[in-house]
Amino acid sequence: MVIEINPKKFHKILVGVDDAADARAAFSYAVDKAKRDSSEIGIVSVLETNDINIYQSMSKDYIHSTRAQLEQRINEYVQAAIKYGIDPKKITAIVDEGQKPAERIVNHVLPEFKADLLVVGSVGKEDSRKVFGSQASYMAKNAGISVTIIRN
């Protein structure tokens, strides 16, 4: 029997990012995979509207400012991907809004972006190396595509 090594290549990779170390590790993995596979890459972050109080939600200035900060963060990730060697034409920056980021990514961003690989970070519980965080777990169960979960 001859065993051949034939790694699966992905065409569109979506990576979820925020300021956490595990998300930065997921981003690094996704960018490297996109470079090796000559894939398109989508970089998504979700503005969590459940973290905004009622007064903030009624202020267009507050929402605009918070969204602008998130867009700036996404742009920093885009620039890092370009610096690593990803063609800027193959990068899509995505900012979405919702109360549950995992559900927004699975139910709204994935169908629009049409990724064939989702890469996310997970912190999980410190006392268990077998348990993923609830966001990563939800996405792995419901994405309907290949999911890679990176733990930092």
Domain count, the chain: 1
Asked if residue 129 is part of any domain, the answer here is yes
Asked if residue 3 is part of any domain, the answer here is no
Cα-Cα-Cα-Cα dihedral of 105, 110, 112, 114, to 10°? 160
> What confidence tens digit (pLDDT) does each residue in 73-132 have?
999 999 999 999 999 999 999 999 888 899 999 999 999 999 999 999 997 555 444 445
Asked if residue 68 is part of any domain, the answer here is yes
Sign of CA dihedral 7, 10, 14, 18: positive
Segments forming the whole domain that contains residue 63: 12-151
Asked if residue 2 is part of any domain, the answer here is no
CATH number for the domain spanning 25: value is: 3.40.50.620
Rounded Cα distance between 31 and 28, Å, is 5
H or E stretch including 81?
helix 60-84
pLDDT given at position 103: 95
Asked if residue 1 is part of any domain, the answer here is no
Residue whose C-alpha is closest to residue 47's, from 30, 64, 28: 64
Rounded mean pLDDT of 59-73? Answer: 71
Sequence letter at residue 48: E
Asked if residue 119 is part of any domain, the answer here is yes
